[in-house]
Amino acid sequence: MRPFGDLEADIMRVMWASDEPLTIQRITDALNEERPLAYTTVMTVTERLRTKGWLDRAKQGRSYRYSALRFEDDYTAELMEHALESSANRAEALLRFAGRLDASEAATLREALGRMPHGPDADG
């Protein structure tokens, strides 16, 4: 999986922050608070994200409303998995990553690992 480009990431942040589906105009308005972007540019990149399976759209009136199909945590987990796949020594990369966690993050990771099924017959 390739990481999002800058505009893709910005669009997805807007989508993840919203509790409701958004039109291209609403996405563009949110993005234009930070930097000026053309409606057609936002539309093109939003459609690209839909094609990649990150967004869904539904017709409402004369326009479409977009909603996120996947959670932000899914994206982050996939990026982490991609980084591990690129490592020649996956175990060492995991150890170095774990060594950079603060105490709260380490406790969360320990708790998550404790809930995982173990052994060759474990699903998941």
Residue 118 pLDDT level (bands cut at 50, 70, 90):
confident
Name the residue type at position 50: R
> What are the residue boundaries of the structural domains of the chain, listed by start?
6-68, 72-114
- 57, burial (CB in 10 Å: exposed 0-12, middle 13-18, buried 19+): middle
The pTM score is 0.80
Q: Which CATH architecture is the domain 6-68 placed in?
A: Orthogonal Bundle (1.10)
90: confidence class by pLDDT, cuts 50, 70, 90: very high
